[in-house]
Structure 1
Amino acid sequence: MIAINLDRVTVTYISEPVFERLSWEIHDDRVVGLIGPNGCGKSTLLKLIVGELTSDTGFTVRRKGLTIGYLQQEPRLEPARTVWQEMLAASTELKRIEDELTHVEARLADPVVYGDEKKLTRALDRQARLLDEYERLGGPGYEGRVRSTLRSLGFSDADCDLPVGVLSGGQKKLVGLAKLLVTQPDLLLLDEPDNHLDLEGKAFLGRFIRGYKGAVIIVSHDRYLLDMVADEIVELEDGRLAHYPGNYSEYAFEKQMRLLRQQQLYQVQQKEIKRLEQAAKRLMTWGAVYDNVKFIRRGKNILKRLERMDRLDRPVLERKRMGLELEGWRGSNKVLEIVDLDKEFDDAIILAGLDLLLWRGERVGLVGPNGAGKSLLFRLILGQETVSGGGEIKIGPSVKVGYYAQEHETLDYDRTLIETVRYAAKLSEEGAVRFLGRFLFTYEQARGRVANLSGGERSRLQMALLMLSGANFLLLDEPTNNLDIPSAEVLEDALADFEGTVLVISHDRYFLDRVVGRIVELDEGALAEYSGGYSDYQAAKATR
């Protein structure tokens, strides 16, 4: 059944259309992965569906009684509330009924009401209707559902008393998901719900979506998740929607097939157009030379046919992508050696007796729960934190380290992009602009400040700086966060060609399967090693 129908909708931002005359029938029985490059309008489309934006053209029809749950990239939570208070406020309908019941109970205690039989009867009838509605919406068991949902997501009773403002990004995402889980709307709109989640959180998200009884539209760059949950992929590109049945891998294959078929049809049509144009030209020439009206009329008829022809667009087989090339160089055979490393904070042991050895050319993935100390370990390797409690970190003598920071803290937000790359390498202003163009930055962006960039654009700028660094040992902290799928694929290809060593923190399971040959898990202060990529790691964990 159709839940929402978008008919020729248009949204404009500062006089420029984000998309124009889109149509989409959204059904209530499937999980749809909504994909597309950064900035194409995916989040805008979700806001239009939920009703936060209005269309400049066309119309949006929602099925009567349809309930919609919307999880934004940054969940809307009240920082001053506790986790428990935020969860209790998830159901606005229950909250409304509770407030009305409180009001009715106050009226029943009023002598003006209980002393008047008619007023008392009306108040009691109103209370009865509210109690029936409260029970229908699951009010009596609501607090129990909230508590069990939070526990299933790893929140202890003590965590429930924490202010929302002190939670990590991943915990806030889980609270947002928990609110949707207890309210069970007919249609879920999830805008990059996997951001900030660790592997356990992502596994829960996959189970949550697959088991959901309503419809789900999920915007995500996580190809592994889209393979796991999607029944259909809808791609927003160049202001148009294209529908593909199946998951992400099926979409990737089918899209290539469609492009090739479109290219063949385009070439056939162009050949036919050229043939007809030449025929019309010949007839018009003969008509003029031999003064033959019949030839001229036939030539004009052919030109009219060409004008009426539905011309196919030339398919874009290869879209412009960032030009990332990580060359590296051989360097030392023993790149990194960590021996019996300890790290304490306020008498709490964070890292305990870590041992790790990386050889030249290895690609190693570092995984573990949020808060396990993965980024801390990177800061220790970089010398930004001091070792406490013993141990040693040794970096090979012919090793130059390049660092990609998850929160972009290595960037100076007050500099322009041109100043940033010229500070990193000896480039003229013209050369800096050309170089930034390889990473899809316009001239206006190149002259602007880093602070004006989006998260994905800052990620591309960090990639550009890695390329200029000439490093042969890369420490990458969540490099695919904020990158769209094409940019993530460019990074994967660049790392495959990189003549150097890589240690990467990532919760991107697809990326780990494509890039690394060894997984190192950091949990409860200790390291455990697994051969292969993420799928091998997952299989090995399942047998332990």
Structure 2
Amino acid sequence: MIAVNLDRVTVTYIAQPVFRGLSWEIHSDRCVGLIGPNGCGKSTLLKLIAGELTNDGGFVSRASGLRVGYLPQEPRLAPGHTVWQEALTASPLLIQTEQALNECEHQLADPAVYGDEARLNQVLEQQARLLDEYTRLGGPGYTGRVRTVLQRLGFATNDDLQLTIETLSGGQKKLLGLAKLVITQPDLLLLDEPDNHLDLAGKAILERLIREHQGATILVSHDRYLLDLVVDEIVELEDGRLSHYPGDYSEYVFEKRMHQLRQQQLYQAQQKEITRLEESAKRLLLWGSVYDNNKFIRRGKNILKRLERIERIEQPRLERRRMALELAGWRGSNKVLEIRGLEKTFLPAGSVGNDGESPVLAGLDLLIWRGERVGLVGPNGAGKSVLFRLILGEETPTGGSITIGPSVEIGYYAQEHQTLDYARTLIDTVRQATRMSESEAVSFLGKFLFNYEQARGPVSALSGGERSRLQMALLMLSKANFLLLDEPTNNLDIASAEVLEDALADFEGAVLVISHDRYFLDRVVDRIVELENGRLTEHIGGYSEFLAAKEARRIVVQRKDR
């Protein structure tokens, strides 16, 4: 069954087409991964399907009674609400129906109404209609369903339910936005980068939610691991066109490459045949004019008409332009970082002495050697960013020691781009990092896909993905041999994340990276350290080995408990 049908739709933005003549049949029983480079129009397409955007051409048709749930990149949550209050607002129509029912009850208690038979019957009929609508919208048991959904998405205690919107982390806001969608039980889920800001536990919740959804899902995500786990089909939006690939992300990568190679072969064969026919027509027309032979001229013109009727095969773009990131590094000290018995305690505001101390790190030990790639994982709030600030010397430890190798230069990538001065132009930013002329700075920024107008503009005008690329450029200029990377793949599209992975593979120095990108961790790191409850646990291998080891330990503990 078709849930939504896009028929040759066109959407323009400031007189420029985002896409033109785009068609897509969205089935009611599939989970589709919608991918494409940053800025290609994925979010615009979701808004169009959700009915939040009007198309400038073509047609959008939806199945009768289709309920659509749309989660934008930044969930729309009311400031001042608690988690519980916000979750109860999930169904505005249900709230309106409840208010209308309350109004009916007030009218039925009015002597002027129950003393007038005609008005009484009118109100009773309205009440009956509203009760039917209330039931259809899932009103009976609504609060119970809200509580159940919130528990499934990690808001398990009363304290969690009383948290205000302002105190929630980015990941918690995403989960609350997801909860509001699930509560309304939509037929079609539209999720725009729902995994951003989620820790590994949050991503596991998201995966379960998508798999258990009874209906269609369109998922915009750069998380290749997530796309491998949950989708039935990949749809790629590129150059204003949609291409469909059955299967998960890994199957898409293989099939797309095979399709490109086949198309390249067909293109080359057709070009060879076109060249042969053009030369044949040219010879015939020349002979016809030299020997005054109309037969040759007629044959030459027929060949040219035949060429005009040929449906030309488009030359595939086997390699698209990507940022030219090269992280050279240099040898430096063999022992890059040594942490012994590291402790960090925070005192709540207004506390006296040691009253109310909150330990974040409790006796951490960590040793990193030259050439190692170490992944740092753990739940949000575990203290990973605190550990980075301690290594950088931005905070003082409560106890223990941190020793950096004598010939170690640190390069730092900040998750929220705090290392960037938003008021500076991009040219000034890179010229501050190293000596170069303005023309050299423009040329260098061009390697990171910034045009001349962007290079002359302020950092504040850049998108999240563009700021990430600018930070990568500064890392390259820093010539550091020890990289501290805090969620480096956030905001990067898949192509840019792959460039980063390749650059890290060739990097000569050491890397300590905080990441919840499981595909990235599998490709880059050779050791994972998990920070939980103030302590580090080490696991050899990438994320998949880490997950398997944790599961094996969980089974052992389960058997012991029996």
Instruction: Give the TM-score normalised by the residue count of structure 2.
Output: 0.96
How do 1:357-376 residues align onto structure 2 when only pairs under 5 Å count?
357-376=367-386
Q: 1:501 aligns to what? A: 510
| Residues 82, 164 of structure 1: 8 Å contact kept | yes
Answering whether residue 57 of structure 2 is matched by residue 48 of structure 1, we say no
- Deviation at residue 14 of structure 1 after TM alignment: 1.1
Q: 2:427 aligns to what? A: 418
1:484-531: CA deviations, max 9, x gaps?
A: 000000000000000000000000000000000111011111111111
Q: 2:159 aligns to what? A: 158
| Residues 473, 502 of structure 1: 8 Å contact kept | yes
| Residues 280, 298 of structure 1: 8 Å contact kept | yes
Task: Please give the secondary structure, in 2, of the residue aligned with 1:503.
Answer: strand
- Deviation at residue 295 of structure 1 after TM alignment: 1.2
In 2, Cα distance between equivalents of 1:178 and 1:352: 34
**More deviation, 461-470/78-87:** 78-87
Q: 1:61 aligns to what? A: 61
In 2, Cα distance between equivalents of 1:219 and 1:359: 38
Quick one: which of 528, 544, 547 aligns to 1:519? Answer: 528
**More deviation, 306-315/273-282:** 306-315
- Deviation at residue 165 of structure 1 after TM alignment: 2.3
Letter in 2 for 1:136: R
Answering whether residue 458 of structure 2 is matched by residue 453 of structure 1, we say no
Letter in 2 for 1:354: L
| Residues 10, 20 of structure 1: 8 Å contact kept | yes
Letter in 1 for 2:115: G
Task: Please give the secondary structure, in 1, of the residue aligned with 2:158.
Answer: coil
Answering whether residue 351 of structure 2 is matched by residue 330 of structure 1, we say no
- Deviation at residue 160 of structure 1 after TM alignment: 1.4
| Residues 415, 450 of structure 1: 8 Å contact kept | yes
Quick one: which of 381, 395, 401 aligns to 1:392? Answer: 401
Task: Please give the secondary structure, in 1, of the residue aligned with 2:339.
Answer: strand
How do 1:169-318 residues align onto structure 2 when only pairs under 5 Å count?
169-318=170-319
- Deviation at residue 137 of structure 1 after TM alignment: 2.8
Q: Which runs of 5+ in 1 are unaligned?
A: none
Answering whether residue 392 of structure 2 is matched by residue 382 of structure 1, we say yes
- Deviation at residue 464 of structure 1 after TM alignment: 0.3
Q: 1:37 aligns to what? A: 37
Q: 1:7 aligns to what? A: 7
Task: Please give the secondary structure, in 2, of the residue aligned with 1:9.
Answer: strand
Q: 1:440 aligns to what? A: 449
Moved over 4 A (4+): none
Q: 1:345 aligns to what? A: 346
| Residues 361, 500 of structure 1: 8 Å contact kept | yes
Letter in 2 for 1:264: Q
- Deviation at residue 229 of structure 1 after TM alignment: 0.5
- Deviation at residue 128 of structure 1 after TM alignment: 2.6
In 2, Cα distance between equivalents of 1:423 and 1:306: 57
**More deviation, 160-169/437-446:** 160-169
Count matched residues.
543
1:240-271: CA deviations, max 9, x gaps?
A: 10000000000000000000000000001100
**More deviation, 227-236/87-96:** 87-96
Q: 2:558 aligns to what? A: none
In 2, Cα distance between equivalents of 1:480 and 1:147: 34
In 2, Cα distance between equivalents of 1:20 and 1:523: 49
In 2, Cα distance between equivalents of 1:159 and 1:228: 29
In 2, Cα distance between equivalents of 1:516 and 1:399: 20
- Deviation at residue 121 of structure 1 after TM alignment: 2.2
| Residues 520, 529 of structure 1: 8 Å contact kept | yes
1:93-124: CA deviations, max 9, x gaps?
A: 21121011011011111111111122212222
In 1, Cα distance between equivalents of 2:473 and 2:129: 64
In 2, Cα distance between equivalents of 1:222 and 1:411: 25
Q: 1:406 aligns to what? A: 415
In 2, Cα distance between equivalents of 1:451 and 1:403: 20
What root-mean-square deviation, in Å, do the aligned CA atoms of Structure 1 and Structure 2 show?
0.9
How do 1:114-153 residues align onto structure 2 when only pairs under 5 Å count?
114-153=114-153
In 1, Cα distance between equivalents of 2:139 and 2:24: 35
In 1, Cα distance between equivalents of 2:189 and 2:68: 6
- Deviation at residue 126 of structure 1 after TM alignment: 2.2
In 2, Cα distance between equivalents of 1:55 and 1:93: 26
Letter in 2 for 1:229: V
**More deviation, 454-463/303-312:** 303-312
| Residues 2, 28 of structure 1: 8 Å contact kept | yes
1:421-451: CA deviations, max 9, x gaps?
A: 0000111111111111110111111111100
In 1, Cα distance between equivalents of 2:52 and 2:277: 50
In 1, Cα distance between equivalents of 2:93 and 2:87: 13
- Deviation at residue 292 of structure 1 after TM alignment: 1.1
In 2, Cα distance between equivalents of 1:99 and 1:400: 63
Q: 1:96 aligns to what? A: 96
Answering whether residue 537 of structure 2 is matched by residue 536 of structure 1, we say no
Task: Please give the secondary structure, in 2, of the residue aligned with 1:421.
Answer: helix
Task: Please give the secondary structure, in 1, of the residue aligned with 2:315.
Answer: coil
Q: 2:438 aligns to what? A: 429
Letter in 1 for 2:392: L
Task: Please give the secondary structure, in 1, of the residue aligned with 2:364.
Answer: strand
1:164-192: CA deviations, max 9, x gaps?
A: 12211111000001111111100000000
- Deviation at residue 162 of structure 1 after TM alignment: 2.1
Q: 2:350 aligns to what? A: none
In 1, Cα distance between equivalents of 2:457 and 2:329: 30
Q: 2:559 aligns to what? A: none
In 2, Cα distance between equivalents of 1:8 and 1:124: 48
Q: 1:27 aligns to what? A: 27
Letter in 2 for 1:370: N
Letter in 2 for 1:34: L
In 2, Cα distance between equivalents of 1:267 and 1:281: 21
In 2, Cα distance between equivalents of 1:318 and 1:132: 58
In 2, Cα distance between equivalents of 1:254 and 1:79: 46
1:279-324: CA deviations, max 9, x gaps?
A: 1101101110111112111111111111121111111111111000
Instruction: Give the TM-score normalised by the residue count of structure 1.
Output: 0.99
- Deviation at residue 543 of structure 1 after TM alignment: 1.3
In 1, Cα distance between equivalents of 2:118 and 2:521: 71
- Deviation at residue 225 of structure 1 after TM alignment: 0.2
Task: Please give the secondary structure, in 2, of the residue aligned with 1:12.
Answer: strand
1:124-150: CA deviations, max 9, x gaps?
A: 232233223323332121111111221
Letter in 2 for 1:9: V
In 1, Cα distance between equivalents of 2:481 and 2:49: 47
In 1, Cα distance between equivalents of 2:170 and 2:115: 55
| Residues 78, 165 of structure 1: 8 Å contact kept | no
**More deviation, 252-261/101-110:** 101-110
In 2, Cα distance between equivalents of 1:397 and 1:442: 39
In 2, Cα distance between equivalents of 1:9 and 1:106: 48
Quick one: which of 482, 492, 495 aligns to 1:473? Answer: 482
Task: Please give the secondary structure, in 1, of the residue aligned with 2:8.
Answer: strand
In 2, Cα distance between equivalents of 1:344 and 1:149: 35
Identity of aligned residues (%): 74
**More deviation, 243-252/8-17:** 8-17
In 2, Cα distance between equivalents of 1:211 and 1:82: 27
| Residues 113, 119 of structure 1: 8 Å contact kept | yes
Q: 2:16 aligns to what? A: 16
